[in-house]
Amino acid sequence: MRITRETLIRIARETAQKRAFSDPGLVAAYLTGSLRTENPFLGGATDIDIVFVHAGEPKIRREIVALTPEVHLDIIHNPRSDYDKPKELRLHPWLGPELYDPLPLYINQHFFEFVQAGVRDKFHEPASALARASHLAAEARQEWSALQMSEAPWPDLFMGYLHAVSLAANAIALLTGGPLAERRLLLQFPSRAEAAGRPELSEALLHLLGADDAEAEALKACLGAWENDFVEAAGRPKVEERIAAPRLAYYKLACESMLASESPQAVLWPLLLTWTLSAQALPPARQATWESCCKGLGLIGTVFDEKMSGLDKFLDSVEELLERAPA
C-alpha cells in the first residue's frame, strides 16, 4: 500500500468513528502532531497522533497501535475535565498549541466550539506566548535544582537532565510557535532560536547533548546496541510508553536519515532520549552499552557536573531572554 499523508488522515478518521461507535462516552477526537504539517515523514516513517476526549476518567492514558512497520497510531486518552477551563488552556504550553488548530475527527456536545473559543482568544498575544514559555522555563529550573541533590542511578539522573534540556529548548520555541517535535527537536530548534533573537543558543544546546565529542561514524556504530536495548526494554512491563515495539522503525529510520544528512548531530536528541528511556527499564547489568555511549559523548560520569553547569548557563540565557521579552 502506498502510504501518503492523505491515507493516514483517512485512517485517523476511520479509527475515531469506530471508537465512537463502540464507546458512548467519547466526547471528541482530534488529530494533532506531525500529520498537521505538510511533511510528516522522517526517514519514511511517521505516526498518527490522535487525542480521544472521554466524558469520564479513561481506563488508560496512552496506547500504541501498530499499522505497518513504518506507521503506528499514538493515541492519548484525556478526561473531559482537562478541558473545563479553556481560557487557562490558552496559556498551557502543551495543550494550548495542540488545541489551537487540531483536525477534528469526531465531535459531540459542541466540544470544539466551547474549547477553541477560549483557547484562540488572545492566543497570539505576546503576553500569552510569554506565559507559555515561562511555564516551561520554570519547570526546567525546578528539574535542574532537583538534580543537584539527587542520588539516583545514572539512567534516572540523566533522564532528569534530558527532561530539563527539553523544557528549556521548548521554552525558547514557544516564543514563536508550538512545541518542538520529538524526533525533530535539533532540526527545528535553530530556526526558533534565531526567531527569538538568540541563534547562538543552537550551538549551546548541541554542546549540552555531547555534540563536541560526537562523530557521525561513531554514532552510526551505536545504533546496533541502541536497537538491541530498545527491543529488550520494549518487552518489559514497566517501560515508558514511548519505548514500544511498534515505535522501533519510527525512531530507527529517523536516526538513519539524520545520520546520512548534512546535520548528523541532530540524531543526538532522539538517540539519547530513547536509549535512556530503554536503559531505565533494563537491569543494571544490561546498561553497559548505554553507559559507554554516554561517557564517550562526555555526558555522564565525572564530567556530569560540567554538563550541569552548562545547563545552568543555558537556563540563565533562557530566563534572561524571557525577562526582556515584550509582554
Q: What residue type is assigned to position 120 of the chain?
A: R
Q: Do 164 and 308 fall into the same domain?
A: yes
Q: Do 140 and 115 fall into the same domain?
A: no
Residue 16 belongs to domain with CATH number: 3.30.460.10
Flag whether pLDDT at 219 surpasses 70.
Answer: yes
Flag whether pLDDT at 110 surpasses 90.
Answer: no
**What pLDDT score was predicted for residue 238?**
85
Flag whether pLDDT at 63 surpasses 80.
Answer: yes
DSSP 3-state of 83: helix
Q: Do 114 and 232 fall into the same domain?
A: no
Q: What residue type is assigned to position 201 of the chain?
A: L
Q: Which of 71, 102, 120 is the last residue of a domain?
A: 120
**What pLDDT score was predicted for residue 254?**
98
pLDDT confidence tier of residue 108, bands split at 50, 70 and 90: confident
Name residues whose C-beta falls within 8 Å of residue 305's C-beta, 6 or more positions apart in sequence: none
Q: Which of 80, 104, 120 is the last residue of a domain?
A: 120
Q: Do 191 and 65 fall into the same domain?
A: no
Contact 243, 64 (CB under 8 A): no
Contact 293, 275 (CB under 8 A): yes
Q: Do 114 and 148 fall into the same domain?
A: no
Q: Do 18 and 150 fall into the same domain?
A: no
Q: H or E segment at 78?
A: strand 71-79
Name residues whose C-beta falls within 8 Å of residue 226's C-beta, 6 or more positions apart in sequence: 255, 271, 274, 275, 278, 289, 290, 293
Compute the mean pLDDT over every residue in the chain, rounded to the nearest whole number: 96
Q: Do 224 and 316 fall into the same domain?
A: yes
**What pLDDT score was predicted for residue 1?**
61
| Total of domains in the chain | 2
Q: Do 31 and 52 fall into the same domain?
A: yes
Q: Do 76 and 217 fall into the same domain?
A: no
Q: Which of 86, 120, 154 is the last residue of a domain?
A: 120
Residue 84, burial from CB neighbour count under 10 angstroms (0-12, 13-18, 19+) = exposed
Q: Do 172 and 102 fall into the same domain?
A: no
Mean pLDDT along residues 86-94: 96
**Strand order across the beta sheet in which 103-107 lies:** 62-68, 71-79, 46-54, 26-32, 103-107
Q: Which three cell numbers stand for residue 116?
A: 477553541
Q: Do 71 and 145 fall into the same domain?
A: no
Q: Break the chain down into helix, strand, coil percent, rounded to 5.
A: 60, 10, 25
Q: Which domain holds residue 30?
A: 5-120
- Write down the pTM of the prediction: 0.96
Q: Do 143 and 234 fall into the same domain?
A: yes
Percent of the chain with pLDDT over 70: 100
Q: What is the pLDDT of residues 236-284, one digit of tens each?
A: 988 999 999 999 999 999 999 999 999 999 999 999 999 999 999 999 9
